[in-house]
Amino acid sequence: MSDLVVKAAYATVAEEDGARFVGFVDARDAGYALFRQPLAGGPVWFEVNDEDFGAEDAVAAAQVGPGGLEITLRPGVAGRFAYAQSVAVRLKNCDGAEFALDALSAMLGPVLKR
């Protein structure tokens, strides 16, 4: 079971200010999971629900399965995520999930298993 859960209603991919953003948003409580990377490549910033709960190069592993997107955080960043070790993004009724997962796959490379 994951420490943090976002029940995504919709997903979005955007490019702004030289960065690509992939977000999964829970429309009911404004919760979200957001990934950001410079368009030129480099480390991926990941945050959950607030910029204070985020870090660069925080994702150790990610896997898409029947429950959605399961993210394992690097142990060294646990304090940035209220000492969570994992985040689940539920995608059951998420509009735009496939497009966002494709963009996320390009960002995370082999870290994301599909």
pLDDT in tens, 6-19: 999 999 999 999 99
Burial 53-65 (b: 16+ CB within 10 A, else e): bbbeebbeebebe
Q: Where are the domains of the chain?
A: 4-113
3-state per-residue secondary structure call for 20-34:
EEEEEEECCCCEEEE
- Percent of the chain beyond pLDDT 70? 99
Let me know if 19 is exposed, middle or buried by CB neighbors in 10 A (0-12, 13-18, 19+): middle
- Residue 2, pLDDT above cutoff 80: no
